[in-house]
Amino acid sequence: MQIGPYKLNNRLILAPMAGVTDRPFRQLCKRLGAGMAVSEMVSSNSLLWGSEKTRRRANHEGETEPRSVQIAGADPAMMADAARHNADNGAQIIDINMGCPAKKVCNVMAGSALLQDEPLVGRILEAVVGAVDVPVTLKIRTGWDTAHRNALTVARIAESAGIQALAIHGRTRACAYRGEAEYDTIAAVKAAVGIPVIANGDVTTAHKARFVLEHTGADAVMIGRAAQGRPWIFREIEHYLATGRHLPAPALGEIRDILLDHLDNLYAFYGEYTGVRIARKHISWYSKGQRHGAAFRQAVNQVESAAEQLRMVRDFFAGLEAGEELAA
Ligand X SMILES: Cc1cc2nc3c(=O)[nH]c(=O)nc-3n(C[C@H](O)[C@H](O)[C@H](O)COP(=O)(O)O)c2cc1C
* CB of residue 35 to ligand X, shortest distance in Å: 15
> Number of residues in contact with ligand X, rule: CB under 6 A?
22
Helices (H), 40-98: 52-57, 76-88
d(CA 328, CA 325): 5
Q: Select 105 or 303, whichever has its Cβ closest to ligand X.
A: 105
Cβ-based burial of 240 (10 A; exposed 0-12, middle 13-18, buried ≥19): middle
- Contacts by 249-253 with C-beta closer than 8 Å and gap 24+? 252/317, 252/320, 252/321, 252/324, 253/317, 253/321
Q: Does 202 bind ligand X (CB under 6 A)?
A: yes
Please, which of residues 98-157 interact with ligand X by CB under 6 A? 99-100, 139
From the list 29, 100, 106, 175, the catalytic residue is 100
Between residues 40 and 159, which has the closer beta carbon with respect to ligand X?
A: 40
175 is catalytic: no
Give, in order, the Cα–Cα distances in Å from 76 to each of 32, 42, 154. Answer: 36, 15, 16
Q: How many helices and strands (H and E) does the chain possess?
A: 13, 10
Output 100 or 313, the one with its CB closest to ligand X.
100
- CB of 38 or CB of 320, closer to ligand X: 38
For 126, the enclosing helix (H) or strand (E) is helix 118-131
Q: Which amino acid is at 154?
A: V
**Site pattern 206..225 for ligand X (x: CB under 6 A):** -----------------xxx
Contact 113, 97 (CB under 8 A): no
User: Contact region for ligand X (CB under 6 A) — 16-24, 25-33, 143-151, 289-297?
Assistant: 16-24
41 makes contact with ligand X (CB under 6 A) = yes
Find the shortest distance in angstroms from Cβ 20 to ligand X. Answer: 5
Please enumerate in sequence order all residues whose Cβ is within 8 A of that of 119, keeping only pairs 6 or more positions apart, or say none. Answer: none
Note whether 231 binds ligand X by CB under 6 A.
no
Asked if residue 15 binds ligand X (CB under 6 A), the reply is yes
User: How far does Cα 289 stand from its chain's mean position?
Assistant: 23
Choose one: 3-11, 27-35, 198-206, 285-293; the region binding ligand X (CB under 6 A): 198-206
Give residues 47-76 in contact with ligand X (rule: CB under 6 A): 70
- Annotated catalytic residues are 100
Instruction: List residues near ligand X by CB under 6 A.
Output: 15-20, 40-41, 70, 97, 99-100, 139, 169, 200-203, 223-226
